[in-house]
Amino acid sequence: MSTAPTDRKYLETHEWHQLSGDTVVIGITQFAADELTDITFVQLPKVGDQVQANKAFGEIESVKATADLNSGVSGTVTAVNDELSSNPGLVNQDPYKGAWMIKVKVTNPAEMDRLLTADQYLQKVGH
C-alpha cells in the first residue's frame, strides 16, 4: 500500500510537487521508488538550468530499469539535491523528504492547478 502526502500535487508519471511561495520542490513518489527497486543513479540538471512543464529534467536508474524524471511546472532550477549523487538509495528510503530532487522558481504557479491531488494520484496507480 503506497502513501502520498496531501500537502503536494502529482504527475501521473510519479513526480510530487510541493509549492511554497514561488518555488516548487520536486521528487518522486514512494510507489515509483518501490517499483524501480534499488536506485543506483540519479541524473539532475544544474542550478540555473530551465525546466519545462511536462518535459524530462533528468533520469533515474535502478538495478531493474531507467526512467525519465518529469516536471509538472516550468521555471528555473534554484537548488539541486547533491546528496543523491553519492547516495541514490536515499530515494528508496525517504522519497518524500530527504530525497527531494530539485527546487524550481516557477514562472506560472497556476501550473500547479493542473496537477493531480494525492487522492487522484493514488487512484491512478491503483491504490
Query: Interface with another protein by CB under 8 A: which residues?
Result: 34, 37-38, 40-41, 61, 63-64, 66, 89, 92
For the beta sheet containing 39-43, the strands, ordered from the edge strand earlier in sequence to the opposite edge, are 39-43, 55-62, 66-71
Choice between 63 and 110, CB closer to another protein:
63
User: In the complex, what is the shortest distance from the CB of residue 59 to another protein, in angstroms, rounded to a whole number?
Assistant: 8
**Shortest distance in whole angstroms from residue 91 CB to another protein:** 12
CA distances 66 to 16, 26, 39, 49, 107, Å, are 18, 18, 9, 22, 29
Amino acid at 40: T
Residue 36, classed as helix, strand or coil, is helix
**In the bound complex, what is the minimum distance in angstroms from residue 92's beta carbon to another protein?**
7
Q: Which is nearer to another protein, 66 or 120 (CB)?
A: 66
Give least dist CB 21 to another protein, A.
34
Distance CA 52, CA 102 (A): 13
Q: Choose between 37 and 123: whose C-beta lies nearer to another protein.
A: 37
**Ramachandran category for residue 54: left, alpha or beta (phi over 0 → left; psi -120 to 50 → alpha):** left
- For another protein, the closer of residues 29 and 106 by Cβ is 29
